[in-house]
């Protein structure tokens, strides 16, 4: 214990020991991330799964293609790229492949010891800490988080000069998130009331001009969403696809899905509709009721309930239990987004995929966030629409309680800043914020703000600049990056969702509900396009901010407090609480088909 206490007091510089003359520092943290303390040396036989990113040879060209095929005013709109075309654009140059192969071989790593992504731009090796320290001229330690989790990480690593320019990054090295790398954005959960006192109340008017059952002010169902967003008269077909992702041992339950269908989608219940499981990296599909995940059940029930009879997929991506320093088992693993991306980029993919997980942007190293974001761009180029929850901390960090948010940067300056979420901050995904009640107002926990990593994309310029000009001069000066990518893009209802877990009905809230809801309506739009022989919508944002901007209900009431502030206000036009607003499906249908 004394040794551990002493280690925690030593300055970070102690670990920046003398480097091999042939090595150059590739990445180094200014200070240990806030909330982490040194626990002790990493066991030398502990296995780490290193992912090595080689520079993508021509990503700017892929980005150009993506924007052309996603811009409804461009002649190439909808002409999505094939897997082969995408892989050719992002494949590393032969010089990089050769240099890195030679480096690995010099350490006895070659052939089947190296896993390779479809384009060859990511390499994966599983080696003991002792070898990783030798290869990276570094020292791994066990770090403990204030929340009790442990990680095996280093604060600095180096590469031989011969491969320095041929490797973009290596992880896990300096990535310090909460150990649950993708924390669900579920905000609240409670058992539903045994009696709904609003059932006999008069219907309420929505922004779409249609009436909505009064009960929808306290309980959100499939019927509520279709009424609220003007899709009651649309009949979906089976010629459509949608998927949701599951991480961190979050498992969907088929019996609960059937109970949900019996309650809300009788036609699906009548044919015992269910999802197709796709296992990624060993992900499983246990059907023990006690293993049912709130997140996974919420996502599958509402995404698949909205789109029945579309073909539905649940991606189960294996996670890992926390590393326990007293047990020498190799349990440490990577950020699972990359495992999932490697898999889906090589497959035939559903046209819409929803993800309800995320983390504070600052806990993900910039270069790693950029590479993951580029992977999402590749999916967009294939014609896949990706929706992500915007988060449940308002303008603050992952803590949904504004009163306990610290909002302190982890760059060594300990400055107070708004904390955007990632991957919602990636400009190649559609970030979905939250609303509540009818008429709709912004839900206070709706994640929103501006990225500190990604600059504002051109498709947002007019909308976001209008919002910024409307802010009183000096509002939150220094607390956010006005030139960053704005979050969210759109919003939907995000509270009081009636979800079935182990056969019982619960009320669930969070932007975890918003992402699968919006994804469901995107899938319905694709359905209409497919019936006319049109391609899937693919990467949505250039369309949403241009031709489709008139297809949203503007939300002008509410705010998203955090970091000791009231956050941003919902206002006319785009805002950093609800984005462009909530969908009016009937209008969007006319605009996109």
Q: Is 461 a catalytic residue?
A: no
The total number of residues shown for the chain amounts to: 593
Tokens linked to 375: 């992977």
Alpha carbons 120 and 97: distance in angstroms, whole number: 8
Is 555 annotated as belonging to a binding site? yes
Question: Which of 577, 252, 550 lies closest to 391, judged by CA?
Answer: 577
Q: Is 299 a catalytic residue?
A: yes
- Count the helices and strands in the chain (H runs, E runs): 15, 29
Catalytic residue among 168, 213, 299, 495: 299
3-state SS class at 487: strand
| String of DSSP letters for 380-449 | HHTT-EEEEE--SSTTS-S-S-GGG---B-SSSS--B----EETTT-TTSEEEEEEETTTTEE-TT---E
Question: Which of 493, 410, 345 lies closest to 174, judged by CA?
Answer: 410
Q: Report yes or no: 571 and 580 within 8 Å, Cβ to Cβ.
A: no
Tokens linked to 189: 């959960």
Q: Is 295 a catalytic residue?
A: yes
Is 573 annotated as belonging to a binding site? yes
Q: Report yes or no: 445 and 435 within 8 Å, Cβ to Cβ.
A: no
Catalytic residue among 168, 295, 335, 397: 295
Catalytic residue among 184, 356, 512, 514: 512
Q: Report yes or no: 582 and 490 within 8 Å, Cβ to Cβ.
A: yes
Residue 217 CB coordination number (10 Å): 17
Residue 132: which residues within 8 A CB-CB, separation 6 or more?
A: 48, 50, 138, 140
Give the DSSP letter of residue 538. -
Which residues define the annotated binding site?
554-555, 573, 575
Which residues define the annotated binding site for Ca(2+)?
554-555, 573, 575
Q: Which residues are catalytic?
A: 295, 299, 512
């Amino acid at each position: 214990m004394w040794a551990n206490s002493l280690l925690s007091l030593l300055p970070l510089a102690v670990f920046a020991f003398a480097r091999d003359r042939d090595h150059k520092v590739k990445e180094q943290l200014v200070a240990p991330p806030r909330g982490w303390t040194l626990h002790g040396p990493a066991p030398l036989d502990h296995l780490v799964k290193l992912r090595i990113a080689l520079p993508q040879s021509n990503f700017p060209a892929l980005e150009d293609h993506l924007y052309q095929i996603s811009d409804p005013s461009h002649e190439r709109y909808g002409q999505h790229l094939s897997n082969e075309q995408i892989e050719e654009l992002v494949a590393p140059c032969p010089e990089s492949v050769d240099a890195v192969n030679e480096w690995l071989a010099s350490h006895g790593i070659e052939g089947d010891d190296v896993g390779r992504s479809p384009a060859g731009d990511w390499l994966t090796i599983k080696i003991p800490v002792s070898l990783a320290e030798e290869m990276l001229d570094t020292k791994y330690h066990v770090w403990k988080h204030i929340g009790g989790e442990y990680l095996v990480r280093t604060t600095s690593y180096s590469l031989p000069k011969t491969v320095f320019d041929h490797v973009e990054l290596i992880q896990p090295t300096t990535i310090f998130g909460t150990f649950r790398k993708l924390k669900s954005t579920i905000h609240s959960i409670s058992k539903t009331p045994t009696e709904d006192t609003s059932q006999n109340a008069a219907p309420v008017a929505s922004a779409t001009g249609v009436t909505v059952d009064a009960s929808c002010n306290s309980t959100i169902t499939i019927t509520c969403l279709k009424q609220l967003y003007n899709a009651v008269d649309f009949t979906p077909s089976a010629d459509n696809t949608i998927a949701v992702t599951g991480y961190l041992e979050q498992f969907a339950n088929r019996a609960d899905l059937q109970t949900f269908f019996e309650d809300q989608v009788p036609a699906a219940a009548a044919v015992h509709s269910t999802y197709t499981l796709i296992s990624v990296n060993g992900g499983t599909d246990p059907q023990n009721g006690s293993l049912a995940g709130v997140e996974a059940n919420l996502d599958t029930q509402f995404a698949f309930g909205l789109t029945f009879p579309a073909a539905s997929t649940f991606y189960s991506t294996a996670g890992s239990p926390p590393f326990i320093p007293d047990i020498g088992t190799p349990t440490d693993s990577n950020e699972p987004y990359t495992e999932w991306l490697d898999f889906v980029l090589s497959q035939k993919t559903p046209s819409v995929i929803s993800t309800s997980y995320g983390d504070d942007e600052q806990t993900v190293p910039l270069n790693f966030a950029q590479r993951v974001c580029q992977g999402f761009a590749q999916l967009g180029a294939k014609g896949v629409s990706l929706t992500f929850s915007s988060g449940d901390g308002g303008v603050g960090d992952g803590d949904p309680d504004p009163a306990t948010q610290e909002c302190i940067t982890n760059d060594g300056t300990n400055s107070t800043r708004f904390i955007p979420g990632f991957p919602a901050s990636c400009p190649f995904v559609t970030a979905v914020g939250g609303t509540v009640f009818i008429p709709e107002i912004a839900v206070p926990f709706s994640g929103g703000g501006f990225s500190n990593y990604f600059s504002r994309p051109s498709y947002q310029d007019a909308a976001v600049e209008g919002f910024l000009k409307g802010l009183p001069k000096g509002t939150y000066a220094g607390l956010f990056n006005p030139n960053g990518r704005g979050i969210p893009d759109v919003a939907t209802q995000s509270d009081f969702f009636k979800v079935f877990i182990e056969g019982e009905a619960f009320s669930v809230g969070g932007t975890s509900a918003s992402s699968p809801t919006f994804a469901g309506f995107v899938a319905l739009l694709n359905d209409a396009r497919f019936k006319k022989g049109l391609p899937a919508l693919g990467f949505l944002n250039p369309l949403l901010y241009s031709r489709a901007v008139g297809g949203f209900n503007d939300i002008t009431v509410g705010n998203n407090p955090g970091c000791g502030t009231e956050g941003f206000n919902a206002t006319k036009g785009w805002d950093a609480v609800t984005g462009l607003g909530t969908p009016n499906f009937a209008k969007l249908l006319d605009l996109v088909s």
